[in-house]
Amino acid sequence: MRTNYTNTESFFFISIISINSYISIGESFLQSKEWFNFQRSLGRSVFEYDKNGIRAGIVEHGLPYNKNYLYVPHGPVIERGQENNMSEFIDYLKNLGKENKSIHIKVEPLDQNISELIVGNGFVKSSKELQPSKTIILDLNKNEEEILSSMHQKTRYNIHVAERYGIVIERNNDIETFIQLLRKTARKDKFQPHEDNYYRKLISFSPENNDFQVSIFSAQYKGGVAATALLLTYKKTGFYLHGASNYNMRAIMAPFALHWHIIRHLKEAGLNSYDMWGVDEKRWPGVTRFKNGWGGETVQHPGSFDMAISPFWYLVYEFARKII
- Does residue 4 have a pLDDT over 50? no
The one-letter code for the residue type at 188 is K
Do you find a cis peptide bond into 76, omega within 30 degrees of 0? yes
Q: What is the pTM of this model?
A: 0.88
Confidence category of residue 207, pLDDT binned at 50, 70, 90: low
pLDDT, one tens digit per residue, over 239-285 is: 999 999 999 999 999 999 999 999 999 999 999 999 999 999 998 89
Stretch 41-49: mean pLDDT = 97
Domains for the chain: give ranges and CATH numbers: 2-17+134-300 (3.40.630.30), 32-130+302-323 (3.40.630.30)
64 falls in which pLDDT band (50, 70, 90)?
Answer: very high
Of 20 and 78, the structure prediction assigns the larger pLDDT to: 78
**Taking a C-beta distance cutoff of 8 angstroms, is the pair 50, 77 a contact?**
no
The overall average pLDDT reported for the chain is 89
Task: List, for residues 161-194, the tens digit of each pLDDT value.
Answer: 999 999 999 999 899 999 999 999 999 888 889 9
The pLDDT of residue 5: 41
pLDDT at 51 over 90: yes
pLDDT at 208: 63
77-113 burial string, b = 16+ CB within 10 Å, else e? Answer: bbeeeeeebbeebbebbbebbeebebbbbbbbbbbee
Q: What number is the average pLDDT over the span 46-53?
A: 97
SS3 for 24-84 is: CCCCCHHHCHHHHHHHHHCCCCEEEEEECCEEEEEEEEEECCCEEEEEEECCCEECCCCHH
Of residues 1 and 288, more confidently modeled: 288
